[in-house]
Structure 1
Amino acid sequence: MKKLIFLLLGFLMVTICIAQTQPVKIVFDVTSGESGVHQSAMRHISTMSTQYPDSEFEMVIYSSALDMVLKEKSSVSKDLEALVKKDNVTFKVCQMSLDRYKLTSSSLIPGVESVPDGILEIVMKQQQGWAYIKESK
């Protein structure tokens, strides 16, 4: 019985190790205007994109989180500028939110792209099998 349990545990560990190396696709949802949430979100996407280079990561920013991607207001601009250069990371901002606050794409940190609707972007990613992470306090 002990041998069977040992074999099952060994099989489980091998399965977990293999599963952790499989590429994933994750979309991060950021709506908070709090700089602490922005910093935490950047840590998550930075760490994961480095640890899992074959995986894809997208951060969708909208509503009160716009300051995160604005050249003149971002508390994470240096990190964001570095991350937009990675092949497996993208940052998307909601055009409807930009319009609501009367902002243009020239206000954005270079490399940040706009999408017509942030919520729809997230829904479409989920329909394509992407995992969803809500960044909040």
Structure 2
Amino acid sequence: MKKIVLFLMMMVSGLILAQNEPIKVVFDVTSSNPDVHRTAAKHLRLMAEAYPESEFELVIYSGAYKMVDKKSSVAGETLSDIVNKDNVDIVICQQTMKRHEMTMDDLIPGVGSVPDGIYEIIMKQKEGWGYIKEAQ
């Protein structure tokens, strides 16, 4: 019985320690669905708060451009609250911005841009970042 209890304690402590190791995660959002925008923003906020030593990047492209439009974003309040956290980057694809005739002035303050959203995600994965596709 003592061996079983000791084994279980070791397993639980190993899981707890594993949850504290810093991670790097890139979130991919392409959907035009406002529900996906709300959910992705919530996931990003929760992860950034739960793991302050970890790094997170939200990459927006294609139909998701409204997610960071300061005039029409349904997730704007959540994104505005977290965009300036040290462990969070929120970026939009410049090609998507060009297609939708957006400028940096159209974006929620603090949101950056990258030349190509897909390339950004691939490079993050190449650097060992985890990948989350936000979709519904």
With normalisation by structure 2, the TM-score equals 0.95
Counterpart position of 1:59: 58
Q: Give SS of 2:122's match.
A: helix
3-state SS in 2 of match to 1:50: helix
User: 1:63-119, CA deviations, whole angstroms, 9 ceiling, x for partnerless residues?
Assistant: 000000011111111111111121111101001111112222221111110000001
Residue 92 (structure 1) aligns with: 91
Q: Identity of aligned pairs, percent?
A: 49
The residue aligned with 1:105 is 104
- Aligned: 1:83 with 2:85: no
The aligned length equals 136
Name the CA distance, whole Å, in 2 between partners of 1:16 and 1:25: 18
Unaligned stretches of 5+ residues in structure 1: none
- Matched to 2:21, the amino acid is Q
**SS class of match (1:109):** coil
Instruction: Measure how far apart 1:4 and its partner are.
Output: 3.2
With structure 1 as the length reference, what TM-score do the two structures score? 0.94
Shift of 1:8: 2.3
* RMSD (Å), alpha carbons: 1.1
